[in-house]
Chain A
């Protein structure tokens, strides 16, 4: 029984990790096409991936979009999560549903919709539509992360601060926000990673000038089949792993995802 369970875990892990492993291994192949098993060893494809101009531009674009979109999502999300948690108002359920809706709507629908709306107002070729689209896509995750932090915070903390003579603004700055800091940081990092990896919606709303890294990669594979893609994938995995490890080290993922109760 115990061994069967272990075997199952190993099989599952293998299944989840297999594509990543295959991609990473192929990245070192000396042949100019993606194939398995690999032959030889070279850093050549990494070099190409890092120096290819579309990738460089796409990488910078992605960084900007991810940073701006997740910051905006945090600002909107914290205000909304706070309102939903602390106040009772008629539109509360509706607001919650609308903000969580992107989870149920396919990304291409959101991208297409955003594109149609943007071209109506003549903004189809700009940054605005890309960022706005990403904000909508990451907002549900940000909301969840903040909502969990708020739920885990004892409302008596704010009551105690008020009773000690602190005005509401001071309480917000000295008690509420510091209490939410892990949730804010965690939400921001998740939003940034999601945005950085987002492809489907971005395909609709980006143009050559505004294309993000995943879109640049897609355009690349349509023309070439060499392992630079595999090299880039390996770099992607490395970057995300580093960010997540740091986030986990300093913030605790269980806490951010709400899988762990922080109240003792």
Chain B
């Protein structure tokens, strides 16, 4: 296998359940060592895609390559993958060490080597002292670290994780995210991570594949999907956007001018390709796209509610005639000046929003 080969390649992979298309032709190329997240709402086909890669489901169309090798017809146990499920799926009748060593025994590794590699894997997830415990004697976070060690000890060419942290509470989830990312980078293992949580995807991934209704809508870096969403759905799903109806004023090759709520925004031109000046457009506004304005200028509104987050606060504002928008302000200023019910004026912020033809 040469180093330039894709670690994973999907060529038009599709899956139907009866007449229902769970996955439309998916095309994907993942580089060795890359961390790619499949992100989308529940039911959009993430698990289906992961199961196709793992070999638990058979593709109706297309080909799958792992490490440059065609595996479309290869059974699960020969695909050389490691999997972590949300439900941990630890073998309840084996202790932690035997759980972790399972894949090594299946591969006929010698006892001495099994013991050494299990010890190494448990040290990696900081569970060396738990080797003799049964899974049910461990907390959720510990169980998931055992599952991770079990999947990684076989040195798989691909690590697959299906919503691995969704069952954990928030603090533990963040801790586990950091830990997984650190281990993944240390080992350099190519990783496909499934989640419906956009913050989780943003914080961990090299690239994110945003999915909706069985389609990969955009494959891009976290910054790319956040700042240059290629699709209305992506713009709405990533970040907390509110939609403001406006009009296209004009555009050059790179950016376009859009007038909405009495403000003029500069937006990327690409999503508005082919839209005539004067046509209605939807501007996707996130809290950082607006800022408070002084004096009588800008868009006027009334604070509906205030979420104080310490260093900053987010205000939900009812505008005069343009619906509701979100606005980010410094935390202290919010406390002093903008309680619920206070009047506020808003101007265009420093970051550029995106707009799509009105839908």
Residues of chain A touching chain B, judged by Cβ–Cβ distance below 8 Å, are 154, 156-157, 159-168, 170, 174-175, 178-179, 181, 264
Contacts and interface: CB of A to CB of B under 8 A. Distances in A.
Contacts, number: 68
Contacts of B56: 159, 162
B77 A160 contact: no
A167 B77 contact: yes
A163 B91 CA distance: 13
Given A162-B56, A163-B151, 17 more contacts: A157-B91, A159-B76, A159-B85, A160-B89, A161-B91, A161-B102, A161-B106, A162-B75, A163-B77, A163-B79, A163-B81, A163-B82, A165-B78, A165-B80, A167-B106, A174-B91, A264-B136
A178 B134 CA distance: 15
A163 B106 contact: no
28 contacts: A154-B87, A156-B89, A157-B91, A159-B83, A160-B83, A160-B85, A161-B91, A161-B102, A162-B56, A162-B76, A163-B54, A163-B76, A163-B77, A163-B79, A163-B82, A164-B77, A165-B78, A165-B103, A165-B107, A165-B154, A166-B102, A167-B77, A168-B77, A174-B91, A175-B91, A179-B93, A181-B93, A264-B136
Contacts of B150: 160, 164
A156 B87 contact: yes
A77 B151 CA distance: 34
Contacts of A170: 106
A160 B81 CA distance: 10
A170 B102 CA distance: 11
Given A164-B103, A164-B154, A159 B136 contact: no
B310 interface: no
B92 interface: yes
Contacts of B81: 163
Contacts of B136: 264
Nearest to A158: B89
Interface in B131-155: 136, 147, 150-151, 154
Interface of B: 54, 56, 75-83, 85, 87, 89, 91-93, 102-103, 106-107, 136, 147, 150-151, 154, 160
A168 B83 CA distance: 17
A174 B136 CA distance: 18
A57 B85 CA distance: 56
Nearest to B51: A159
A157 B103 contact: no
Nearest to B93: A178
Nearest to A164: B103
B180 to A, nearest CB: 17
Given A165-B77, A165-B154, A264-B136, A159 B89 contact: yes
A181 B89 CA distance: 18
A102 B82 CA distance: 46
The 6 nearest A-B residue pairs measured at CB: A164-B103, A156-B89, A166-B106, A160-B89, A165-B106, A163-B83
A130 to B, nearest CB: 36
A3 B78 CA distance: 65
A163 to B, nearest CB: 4
B100 to A, nearest CB: 10
Contacts of B75: 162
